[in-house]
Structures are given as structure tokens and as C-alpha cells.
Chain A
Amino acid sequence: MRAPASTLDVARIRADFPVLAQTVRGKPLVYLDNAATSQKPRQVIEAMSRVFEEHNANIHRGVYEFSERTTAAFEEARSKVARLVNAPSEREVIFVRNATEGVNLVAYAWGRDNLKRGDRIVTTVLEHHSDFVPWQQLAAEVGAEIAVVDIDGEGRLRRDQMSAELRKGAKLLALTHTSNGLGTVNPVREIAAEAHAAGATVVIDAAQAVPHTPVDVQDLQADFLVFSGHKMLAPPGSGGGDMSSRVSVAMTEWNELPWKFEAGTSSYVDAIGLGAAVDYLCAVGIEKIHEHELALVGYLLPRLSEIPGVTVYGPRTLDDRVGVVSFNIEGIHPHDVATIFDREGVCVRAGHHCNQPLMTRLGVPATTRASFYLYNTTEECDALTRAVHAAKKVFGV
């Protein structure tokens, strides 16, 4: 396996993340659950504190200076996000709390108006529940059909099956850009083109992609693309705005995009934190972060795979993947694995990863998952393999 060399100054990056200096039960924190949520750099924490300490006021309402300053910071965050994903217009960037809420918004706003009885929805077994359940529920409600495309033995999408399903006709393609369970990156651009040719609208779940790889919504030809700020150094839950422009008892006239989908007082400080996170990631370089994570996968995979009793799921190579490594140890349930890892200071996710159809497909109830980000190191990979040996020793396997 030929891993790219990392060009990140990880020691300097780690110094920006206060939480990484913490210890767990006397051992250094080894945080390997970045697919669930990322840690936050001082720059993001301070950007948010500055709002509260220096100019906090509700946005889009006041006509006084503090409200205007906060509104400007909030809208500046929207511009930063638009630039990050190359949105055609910043007005197409809508702040919601998370990717899950984004998919639900598309399902209930667009889906209810456009999906009819007999329409076909094409999706995949790799979807997070967030990009599956809303479509499953909507399909049942309107009488649409769902086709779920399978994966091969390495967790890669069955392209032949995807093309065949799209050729049968589809109104909607709901596709994850990058699998949160296995780290597989799907050929989104190619598939989106096929979907459009079939007349489908394309919804891309990029929650595991935007934090780790360059994503260009125009290049991908995504009609809707969702992601979560908290997985990319920003705080959990950013969103909000003003949904209606004129309300009377008889009728409501909706505001323009994006504000009509951001009703109520938004989590504007979170959005401003997201803006600071985008600044941070862009200064480091998303492409470099991706290479750094692949270097860590290249380091960990052979060391993990050679341990007797360890089964690694998902891609065996570094092509079209991110820094997610899912595995099991024979004879030990993943929850027991994670509990023993915790005693070694190693934080990993154990469970079905909101990926139950994928777990069923893999034939396991759950897996243990390590997921990297820009601040992880090869020493932390070593801590993980040591923890695997510790778990095996406890269970005598």
C-alpha cells in the first residue's frame, strides 16, 4: 500500500485544540471518533466567545449597531461556506442544525411537492439513517418506490447495479458522498450525471466528505448537498433566519432564499463559529488534510490487519476512501472493545453507526470504528493497536 506523505505540521495544529491536551484516566487522550464529531480549535471557540463578549444581538431584526454587526458576521459565515463548496450563489446556502435536518428539509419541502405515487427513489445501502429514513417515510406516505443499491465485498458501490436502477427511471437519487461506516468515497459526479439523464433530482449527503476532501457542488452537479459543521471543527447546530416576509391572518408570503428556510432565531453564533472553522480548514488546506488522513490509514491498515482475529471492513486500498477504519475483533463485542479502549484513553465509536442496513449487509450487529482528522498521529495509531492487544488479553482471545 503506497500512502501519500503527510505535509501537515501536526504538532502545531494540535496546539490549537485545547481538548487534545486532556488526559483520560491518567492516559493521554487519543481521539479517534472524528466521524461522529470533531474537536474544536481555539480559533473557533474564540470567534464564538467574541460574539457573546463584544457584540451579541439578534440578527436580521435590530436596526442598531450590535445587531448589524452580528448579522454581518452571520452572513459572512454564509459567504465562507458558499466559497468552500463553490456554491453558485451564497443564497443557496441554508443554515440548519445538521445534515440530518438538511435532508429532512429537502424531503418535506421538495419531496412532498414533487414525489408522487409510483415514482422511484434510488438510494444505497451505504446511507446513514439520516439520508435513508426521511425517504423511506416519504415513500410510504406518497406511495413511491425505493431501490437500494448494494455494495461489493470491499464496501464499494455496485456501479452496474446503480446504472441499471437509474436506467429504469428515477425521480430522486439520494446518495452519500462518503460512507460514514466504511469510509468509501462514491463516484458522485458520474452517478449524478446518470441520474440527471434519467430525470432524477440529486441529493448528496456530504457529511463525511466536506470536512475531509475538497467538495465542489457545481462540479458534482448536486441539486441538494448537506453536511454538518460540527464534523469540521465547528460547533454542533448552526442554522436559522427569517422564513416569512409578510404575514397576515389570511396568508403568508414567503421570504426569499435562503432566509425562508431559516425560521426563528437562528443558532447564529454557531454559524459564525462555522465561518471561523472554514477559515481554519482553508488555511491548513483541505487537500493536505485528506492526504494526512490517507497517510494514517496507510500506516494503520497493515498493522491492524496483521493482528490475529481482527477483521477490517471496507476498502483495502487507499483509492477513493477517507480516514475511516471499521473493524471487529473475533470473540469480543464492539462495545466491550470500546470500553476497554476507553481505559487506554482511546476514544472510538462502537455500534451500528446509524448504518443498520449496512451492518445487516456486512452480516455483523456492530463494528468498532476509528476515524481520523487533521490532528491525529501515527503514535495514536500505535495506541489503538496496543489497545487491540489489551482487549484481546482481557478476553483471552
Chain B
Amino acid sequence: MYRDYILDHYKNPRNSGELPGATHTYHDSNPLCGDELTMQLRISDGHVDDVRFSGKGCAISQASASILTEEVKGKSLDEVKRIDREHVLANLGIPISPARIKCALLGLKALKGAAWGLTAWPGEEVKAK
């Protein structure tokens, strides 16, 4: 589960820190384990011009967010919208045990919170309604 690239993203997070001129910011947390994550986007013309995140927590939550930021940078909002739970889990490329799923999805949840104000856990949107 702790492959080298996961640990690399954890120790050297990409797109980390404060985003100057952010148009969308969302802070989220997973109270169960105390993971915290802030996702910031600069959106113009329906595209994610830039993205950064900051947070503290386990390797899975921070690496997953880091990988996600690399993916969404420069993408259109339509493309970003299509990123779902399964996509994020597949992108991580490691088996995630049920107890750790929320760690893996915190980044996507914060991203969707920032872009569209969505507050449900990815994959549980229907239940949340």
C-alpha cells in the first residue's frame, strides 16, 4: 500500500501551499482521523488555471490530494466534474481498505467543495440528498 510514489507525494507534495489569487477555496476535514485539507482553485473561462492544497494528515490523504492536483491543473471544469470516487481510487493504484477510503477521498471532496460547493463524500451524493 505504501508504494514509493505514494510516499514521494506524501513527503514532497505537489502544488502545495497557498494559492495567490484563488477564486475558490474550500476547507474540509475527516473528524474520524483528524485529517485536514484546504483546496484552492483559480478558475477562469471554465478552466482550472491553477490549484494548490495544504493540509495535515495521513500519507494516503495527502498523497491522494497531491496526485489529484496534478491531474486537474489546466483541465476544463467539465473534465474535472467527471472525476469520481472510482477514478481517484484507480489513480492511487493501491488497494485501499474500507477503513481508509475516506482518507483517499478527502482531496476529491475538498476539490468538489471548492469548485461546486458540494459537501457530500464522493460516491455518497445520493445518500446525502
- Does B associate with A? yes
Interface centre among B2, B35, B58 (most CB of A within 10 A): B58
Cβ of A396 within 8 Å of any chain B Cβ, yes or no, is: yes
- Distance to closest chain B CB from A393 (angstroms): 10
Taking CB atoms and an 8 Å cut-off, the chain A residues in 306-360 that contact chain B are 332-336, 339-340, 343, 350-352, 359
Given A395-B7, A396-B7, A336 contacting B33 (CB threshold 8 A): no
Count chain B residues whose beta carbon lies closer than 8 angstroms to a beta carbon of A: 16
Alpha-carbon distance between A335 and B57 when the two chains are bound, in angstroms: 9
CA distance A322 to B48 in the complex (A): 54
In the complex, what residues of B have CB within 8 A of residue A351's CB?
A: 32-34
Cα of A327 to Cα of B59 in the assembled complex, Å: 18
The reply to whether B7 and A333 contact each other, CB–CB distance below 8 Å, is no
Q: Is the CB of B57 within 8 A of A394?
A: no
Question: Which residues of the other chain, A, contact B35 by a CB distance below 8 angstroms?
Answer: 333, 365
Is B56 engaged at the interface, CB distance under 8 Å to the other chain? Answer: yes
Q: Which residue of B lies closest to A395 (CB)?
A: B7
Instruction: List CB contacts (< 8 Å) of A8-33 with chain B.
Output: none
* A335/B7 contact (C-beta < 8 A), A340-B2, A366-B33 known: no
Q: Complex Cα distance A350/B56, Å?
A: 16
A359 touches B7 (CB 8 A): no
Contact B58 A335 (CB under 8 A): yes
Report the bound CA distance from A290 to B65 in whole Å.
Answer: 45
For residue A397, which residue of chain B has the nearest CB?
B11
* Interface residues in A, total, Cβ within 8 A: 17
Find out whether the CB atom of B56 lies under 8 angstroms from the CB atom of A336.
no
Q: Which residue of A lies closest to B33 (CB)?
A: A335
User: Least Cβ distance of B106 to chain A in Å?
Assistant: 12
Q: Which of B2, B11, B34, B97 contacts A336 (CB 8 A)?
A: B2
Hey, which chain B residues are within 8 Å of A396, CB to CB? 7, 11
Kindly identify, within residues 1 to 59 of chain B, every residue whose CB is under 8 Å from any CB belonging to chain A: 1-2, 7, 11, 32-35, 56-59
Q: Quick one: CB contact mask for A293-314 with B, threshold 8 Å, 1 for yes?
A: 0000000000000000000000
Q: Which residues of A contact B1 (CB under 8 A)?
A: 339, 343
Establish whether residues B34 and A366, one from each chain, have CB atoms under 8 Å apart when the complex forms. yes
Q: Mark B54-90, 1 if CB is under 8 A from A, else 0.
A: 0011111000000000000000000000000000000
Measured CB to CB, the closest approach of chain A to B92, in angstroms, equals 14
Contact check, B57 vs A339: say whether CB atoms are below 8 A apart. Answer: no
Bound form: Cα–Cα A339–B94 in Å: 13
Are A336 and B32 in contact, CB atoms less than 8 angstroms apart? no
For residue B46, give the distance in angstroms from its CB to the closest CB of chain A.
36
Q: Which residues of B contact A340 (CB under 8 A)?
A: 2
Determine whether the beta carbon of B56 is less than 8 Å from that of A335.
no
Q: For B7, what are the chain A residues with a Cβ–Cβ distance below 8 Å? A: 394-396
Question: In the complex, are the beta carbons of B2 and A335 less than 8 A apart?
Answer: no
- Nearest B-chain residue to A396, judged by Cβ: B7
Q: How far is the CB of B89 from chain A (nearest CB, A)?
A: 16
Cβ–Cβ < 8 Å partners of B58 in chain A: 333-336
Cα separation A261 to B104 with both chains bound (whole Å)? 44
**CA of A395 to CA of B11 in the docked complex: distance in angstroms?**
9
Q: A359 touches which one: B11, B34, B60 (CB < 8 A)?
A: B34
**Residue from A334, A335, A394 in contact with B100 in the complex, judged by beta carbons closer than 8 Å:** A335
Residue of B nearest to A352 (CB): B34
Q: How does the 8 Å CB contact mask read for A268-309 relative to B, with 1 for contact and 0 for none?
A: 000000000000000000000000000000000000000000
Can you name the residue of chain A whose Cβ is closest to the Cβ of B1? A339
A-B contact pairs, 5 of them (CB 8 A): A333-B59, A340-B2, A365-B35, A366-B34, A395-B7
B residues with CB within 8 A of A: 1-2, 7, 11, 32-35, 56-60, 97, 100, 103
List the 7 closest A-B pairs by CB distance, nearest first. A365-B34, A333-B58, A335-B58, A336-B59, A394-B2, A336-B58, A335-B33
